[in-house]
Amino acid sequence: MKHYGVITTLFLFFTSLVTVTVAQTRVESVPANIIVSTDLGTKIISRHIYGHFSEHLGHCIYGGYWVGETSSVPNTRGIRNDIVEALKKTGIPNLRWPGGCFADEYHWMDGIGPREKRPTMINTHWGGVTEDNSFGTHEFLDLCEQLGAEPYICGNVGSGSVEEMSKWVEYINSDGINPMSDMRRENGRDKPWNVKFWGVGNENWGCGGHMTAAYYSDQYRRYATYARNYGSNRLLKIAGGAGASDFDWTETLMRDIPHHMMWGLSLHYYTVNWEDKGSATSFVERDYFETISRCLNVENAIDRHIDIMDRYDPEKRVALVVDEWGTWWNVEPGTNPGFLFQQNAMRDAMVAGLSLNYFNERCDRIKMANIAQTVNVLQSLILTDGEKMLLTPTYHVFEMYRIHHDATLLPLTLNCSSYAMDGTELPSVSASASMDKEGVVHISMVNIEPARNVRMLIDLRGGDFTHVAGRILTAHELNAHNTFGSPEEVKPVSFGGAKISKNMISLEMPAKSIIVLEVK
């Protein structure tokens, strides 16, 4: 511990010098305090809040997960080994596929059987490229098995049929003697996969059919009826919910769809300025402030959706599934606009940390969430270039926050100063705390201040704690990011700056930092 303390002291000193350069003033330090009730936790943070989304879009699948069995890139049955190993370190709990907008033009039978015989199609949503269907149902479910993740399949409501989705469920889940099970066996899979999570369409108010909420509610009831349970497997069906602030959509579905017919209701909300998305790496402090402000406004909007759900479902039987979220910037210069390839900076990590802390706090209603998207698209965790692969700052947040998976949420109160600009004030710190099955407490904290440290005092109540350790993710600049030439520019390191005495933890959080503490 003495060795780590020296490293951390030097690290904080260097960070302070950098902050002085950015702000061109002396380093300020502002106070904050947290009270954690370690004996009052009753709610469980579902690991599925830390889920992922991967669409047939750009190089998420092809050139991302899927390189093919003859590739020089090390792979297992065509699936890239280094991506699988990296995601396993985050404890990836579930993976949503095949879309997204692509889901409602995808016909699953095109993606089974011998690959050389599979028909091609044009991906009309994303770049107009040819989709050869070499990555289909068997490949996706093989990927999930390699990852140890639950599959979350989104069915085609926009251009498909009730029969098509019904047969897909049967093909995947039935162990009986019937045409779909027989076809699966002929294609090399004897036993069913028993997939639980099924989405009934995607963004059916938009790219999934431009339906009204009332019309979609009726369609959902039809599709969900014929998505059958097989054997002991019980489907967890997810209705295609609202986009952003369409509260009427949520109201209609909660009113018109019997609650026993849907396990979850989805919601899509991106941290984005649709009028001018801006660059992922070239921005000024005002841009950063607006991004953080927009991220916190997302939370306010989600709270309103939750309020509507609470009115119709006070017992909280229907989960809110935030199955598309994250930042959205302009594509990197010189790349296909339809591929949505963007870099990922420390700013994105801040959004991830804030969002996950919030999802934890709403875990009584939010049971699943899926960042968009896992590889090479939007706020991805991983970027690839041929045989090269790098981990983004967002990846490191997911890996650091793994400690919250299926842990008990601990109530906390937070008092902190504000980060202000042009009359708008944002709380300087976000925090979440949980206790795992071994009784270890974890506290994740985000200091959004770009140039001010936070002097933090944490009061642990309801237990006796004597040991604290930590990890920190920060960078010289908010636009710091990893490149294939410098893949470890932003990565977590040990943090030895937290001290504990009589259940009180004191530490100084550097500016623009994310810290996770382990307390025993």
Residue with tokens 């996969």: 193
* pLDDT higher than threshold 80 for residue 12: no
Q: Which residues contact 332 (CB under 8 A, 6 or more apart)?
A: 280, 341, 342, 343
The gap between the terminal CA atoms of the chain, to the nearest Å, is 15
d(CA 157, CA 180): 20
Scanning 316-413, the segments in alpha helix (DSSP H) are: 346-361, 393-400
**Is beta strand 504-509 parallel, antiparallel or unpaired with respect to 452-461?**
antiparallel
- Check residue 1 and give its pLDDT: 34
Q: What is the pLDDT of residues 340-388, one digit of tens each?
A: 999 999 999 999 999 999 999 999 999 999 999 999 999 999 999 999 9
CA 453 to chain centre: 28
Contact 256/219 with Cβ under 8 angstroms?
no
Q: Please give the structure tokens belonging to residue 336.
A: 């296909």
Q: What is the dihedral of CA 342, 343, 348, 353, to 10 degrees?
A: 100
499 burial via Cβ count (<10 Å: 0-12, 13-18, 19+): exposed
Helix (H) or strand (E) holding 461: strand 452-461
Task: Name the pLDDT band for 405 (thresholds 50, 70, 90).
Answer: very high
- Computed over every residue of the chain, the mean pLDDT equals 94
For residue 57, the cross-strand partners are none
- Catalytic hit among 55, 150, 324, 361: 324
Query: What band does 26 get if pLDDT is binned at 50, 70 and 90?
Result: low
pLDDT one-digit tens code per residue, 50-104: 999 999 999 999 999 999 999 999 999 999 999 999 999 999 999 999 999 999 9
pLDDT tens for each residue of 484-516: 999 999 999 999 999 999 999 999 999 999 999
Number of CB atoms found within 10 A of residue 480's CB:
18
Residue 10 has pLDDT above 80, yes or no: no
The contacts of residue 485 (CB under 8 Å, 6+ apart) are: none
Q: From the centroid of its chain, how far is CA 235?
A: 22
Token pair recorded at residue 386: 């041929």
Alpha carbons 435 and 406: distance in angstroms, whole number: 9
Q: How many CA atoms lie within 13 A of 69 on its CB side?
A: 5
What pLDDT score does 367 carry? 98
Instruction: Give residue 28's pLDDT.
Output: 85
For residue 188, the 8-state DSSP code is T
Pick the catalytic residue: 55, 203, 361, 449?
Answer: 203
As given in the structure block, the two tokens for residue 68 are 């093919």
For the chain, what are the domain ranges?
2-43+410-519, 47-406
Does 478 score more than 90 pLDDT?
A: yes
Give the three-class secondary structure for 260: helix
**Digit-coded pLDDT (tens) for 45-63:** 999 999 999 999 999 999 9
> pLDDT digits over 301-331, tens only?
999 999 999 999 999 999 999 999 999 999 9
Decide if 395 contacts 90 (C-beta within 8 A). yes
Please indicate whether residue 203 is annotated as part of the active site. yes
Contacts of 82 (CB under 8 A, 6+ apart): 73, 74, 389
pLDDT above 90 coverage of the chain, percent: 95
| Segment 250-259, tens digit of pLDDT | 999 999 999 9
In the CATH hierarchy, which top-level class contains the domain 47-406? alpha beta
Check if the beta carbon of residue 148 is closer than 8 Å to that of residue 92.
Answer: yes
Query: Where on the phi/psi map is residue 91: left (φ > 0), alpha (ψ -120 to 50), or beta?
Result: left
Residue 142 identity (one-letter amino acid): D
Sheet architecture: strand order including 499-501 = 412-416, 28-37, 452-461, 504-509, 499-501
Say if CB 317 and CB 259 are below 8 A apart.
Answer: yes
275 is catalytic: no
Whole-number Å distance between alpha carbons of 326 and 288: 15
CA distance 177 to 174: 8
Q: Is 321 helix (H, G, I), strand (E, B) or coil?
A: strand
3-class DSSP state for residue 253? Answer: helix
The structural architecture, per CATH, of the domain 2-43+410-519 is Sandwich (2.60)
- Per DSSP, the three-state class of 419 is strand
**Structure tokens that stand for 52 in this block:** 């992922």
Confidence of residue 3 (pLDDT cuts 50, 70, 90): very low
Q: For the chain, how long is the longest CA-to-CA vector?
A: 75
* Tokens representing residue 450 in the block: 């770009």
Q: What is the pLDDT of residues 184-217, one digit of tens each?
A: 999 999 999 999 999 999 999 999 999 999 999 9
Residue 345 CA to residue 512 CA, distance in Å, equals 12
Q: What percent of the chain has pLDDT over 70?
A: 95
- 3-class secondary-structure state, position 430: strand
Q: Which residues contact 491 (CB under 8 A, 6 or more apart)?
A: 391, 396, 473, 482
pLDDT at 502: 96
Q: The pTM is what?
A: 0.93
Residue 471: how many other CB atoms lie within 10 Å: 17
